[in-house]
Structure 1
Amino acid sequence: MSVPVQVLLTFLALSACRGHSASLPPTSTFLKESIQLLGKLLGTEVSCAEMNVTDIFAGNKQDNATELLCKASTVALEGRSCHKQLEGIHLNLLHLVQTRSSVHKVPCPVAAGNTTSLKHFLQDLHRLLQQLAKE
């Protein structure tokens, strides 16, 4: 074999191996799917969008992202009567929490307190997931 053919074969072999390592980790698939579902939900007008849910994003800024995801999964589950897609978001959030931490046991307790509309909760969750996707 000539040198250029050996170099070409080596390059092709390395390119094939690199493709596998560059694939997205499974958690990013759940994250992207949740972002897409939330985008669709936010574009949908429903009468229950003003339904009150616990505002997990207000006040306590000391919760880390995993804690917020865990609490958000609980609120999403509670709001599934308004949007059926929230059950899928709930499952995706559960998967993200379980892969990020073994400490958090789901469902996470959500303390009663401040409330917000379901629409605002979905907007805040959408922003959080977009931030996590950028990291």
Structure 2
Amino acid sequence: MSVLVQVLLTLLLLSACLGDVVTPQPHTLRSRTLKETMKLLEKVQREVSCDKVNVINIFADHKRGNNTDIFCKAATIARETKSCHRELGGIYYNLLSLGRARHKKPCPVAPGSTTSLKNFLKALDYVLQEEFKSLK
């Protein structure tokens, strides 16, 4: 076997190994998405221009441990209110990806009790932090 073939085979094997190391795991992707969403949410909470807008309170009946559904519903509300703050658009897409385990699009949100956008964002921040803690 020539030296060139041996070198090429070695490089091929090394690149295959590096591919496994560099590929992010689903757990890591979820963690990154949660971190990014919390960061955006913090910015929105400081600068939200229409925090007195009322939205459906999806957290009223929220049971711990079922965050996929709550992320999906929160994505719907973020989409509906993204005109209030441009960062809500990023939050919408992140929540959509976090809630995609079961759903392909934002969930319908049934009419019910309402809360202010400010309180909604605060409750969402709490759920995101709990989800992030559960990943560790």
**What is the TM-score with the length of structure 2 in the denominator?**
0.75
Which of the numbers 91, 94, 100 marks the counterpart of 2:93?
91
Residue 131 of structure 2 aligns with an amino acid whose one-letter code is L
Distance 1:58 1:93, change over 3 A: same
Matched residue count: 116
Amino acid at match of 1:40: K
- Residue 59 of structure 1 and its aligned partner are, at CA, apart by 2.9
**CA deviation map 1:5-40 (0-9, x unaligned):** xxxxxxxxxxxx8xx48x671121111000001111
Residues 40-73 of structure 1 show CA distances to partners (whole Å, capped at 9, x for unaligned) of: 1111252x11101111001353781100000000
Q: 1:63 to 1:56 in 2, by over 3 A?
A: farther
5+ long unaligned stretches in structure 2: 1-17
Amino acid at match of 1:80: K
Residue 95 to residue 45, structure 1, CA distance change in 2 (3 Å): closer
What's the secondary structure of 2:99's corresponding residue? Answer: helix
1:73 equivalenced with 2:113 (yes/no): no
Q: Which residue matches 1:4?
A: none
Q: What is the aligned partner in structure 1 of residue 58 from structure 2?
A: 56
| C-alpha distance in 2 between matches for 1:133 and 1:30 | 10
**What does 1:1-135 align with in structure 2 at a 5 Å threshold?**
20=21, 25-44=28-47, 46=49, 48-61=50-63, 64-98=66-100, 101=101, 103-135=102-134
What SS does the corresponding residue of 1:116 show, helix, strand or coil?
Answer: strand
What is the percent sequence identity of the aligned residues? 46
Distance 2:64 2:34 in 1: 22
TM (norm. structure 1) is 0.75
2:107 partner SS: coil
Quick one: distance in 2 between partners of 1:67 and 1:97?
6
Q: Report the AA paired with residue 87 of structure 1.
A: G
* Residues 52-106 of structure 1, C-alpha deviations (whole Å, 9 max, x = no match): 11110013537811000000000010110111111100000111122xx2x3242
Do the aligned residues in 1 keep the contact of 2:73 with 2:108 (CA within 8 Å)?
A: yes
